[in-house]
Amino acid sequence: MPPKVKITKKMVAEASFEVIRANGHENLNARTISEYLGCSTQPVLYSFKTVDEIREAAYEIADKYHTEFIIPKKADKEASPDGEALKSLKAATGSPDRRSGADTDKNPMLALGLNYVRFGQEEKNLFRFLFQTDKFGGKDVAVLMTDPGLSEIMEIMAAGLKADIEQATEMFLTFFCVAHGMASLLANNSMEYDEGQCRKMLENVFFGMIAARKGK
């Protein structure tokens, strides 16, 4: 007879994340976690004192997953003066009407915004868990601002706009609020996802901020 698999604390936390991702945080309990792991509820509750503690562990995993999902993967490699991200941003900021010169996927601000919106569409349960639950909702955007990947984007933004970090951060916060609103609507099935339309709305906000900064 094969030995029983030992259920570790990490396994319970990761299983909880997957249960929330698939079925929503409302359906997280010892039974659904044990069913995912193929065990009884005993080892699940042995690793954690309460389901709330399990939920907190799952939140940490979901938070990390969300950050990795939205931060452009190559922001750190393209932050140099000759990087593609900076070139794309300079093309975009050269004139508020030069939208055709800005590749959304290479422009770090636009890429992050679109990834954020996509997260609301593709990971509805995780988005609601992270931002719209009584216990875990209201996550301060300042936490996101401390991410190293986002710091690189702020530096690229400041260089492209010939602005300081404070001014770039102010623009980002405005942009973020719009992206968060769109993602929230999608996560709650209050808006149909049209990637082209989402791109256009984000670009309107982005280029509108640039035009306002140039006084045009």
What is the three-state SS of 192-213?
Answer: CCCHHHHHHHHHHHHHHHHHHH
The CB density around residue 148, as the number of other CB atoms within 10 Å, is 9
User: Cα dist. 52→48, 56, 59, 186 in Å?
Assistant: 9, 6, 10, 27
In eight-state DSSP terms, residue 100 is G
Q: Distance (Å, rounded) from C-alpha 144 to C-alpha 147?
A: 6
Claim to verify: residue 50 and residue 104 sit in the same structural domain: no
Q: Does 91 lie in the same domain as 24? A: no
Rounded-to-integer distance, Cα 126 and Cα 198, Å: 20
pTM over 0.85: no
Residues 125, 80, single domain; the answer is: yes
**CA dist., res. 209 & res. 42, Å (int):** 55
Tally Cβ neighbours within 10 Å of residue 204.
12
Tens-digit pLDDT string for the chain (216 aa): 455 668 999 999 999 999 999 999 999 999 999 999 999 999 998 889 899 999 999 999 998 999 899 887 654 444 443 445 445 555 554 444 444 444 566 688 888 899 999 999 999 999 999 998 866 555 556 666 666 667 777 777 777 777 788 888 888 888 989 999 999 999 999 999 999 999 999 999 988 988 887 765
Number of domains in the chain: 2
Report the distance separating Cα 49 and Cα 27, nearest Å.
18
* Boundaries of domain holding 149: 71-214
Where does residue 156 rank: exposed (0-12), middle (13-18), buried (19+ CB within 10 A)? buried
Please check whether residue 144 lies inside any domain of the structure. yes
DSSP 80: S
Q: Domain check: are 98 and 75 in the same one?
A: yes
Identify the pLDDT of residue 156: 75
Closest among 70, 187, 190 to 128, alpha carbons compared: 187
Q: Which long-range contacts (CB under 8 A, 24 or more apart) does 51-56 make?
A: 52/135, 54/12, 54/13, 54/16, 54/28, 55/16, 55/25, 55/28, 55/135, 55/136
Q: What is residue 74's predicted lDDT score, i.e. its pLDDT?
A: 53
- For residue 18, what is the domain's CATH number? 1.10.10
Question: Using alpha carbons only, what angle is made at residue 114 by residues 147 and 199, rounded to the nearest 5 degrees?
Answer: 150
Residue 178 lies in a domain: yes
Q: Does residue 63 fall inside a structural domain?
A: no
Indicate if 112 and 181 belong to the same structural domain.
yes
Residue 149 has a pLDDT of 64
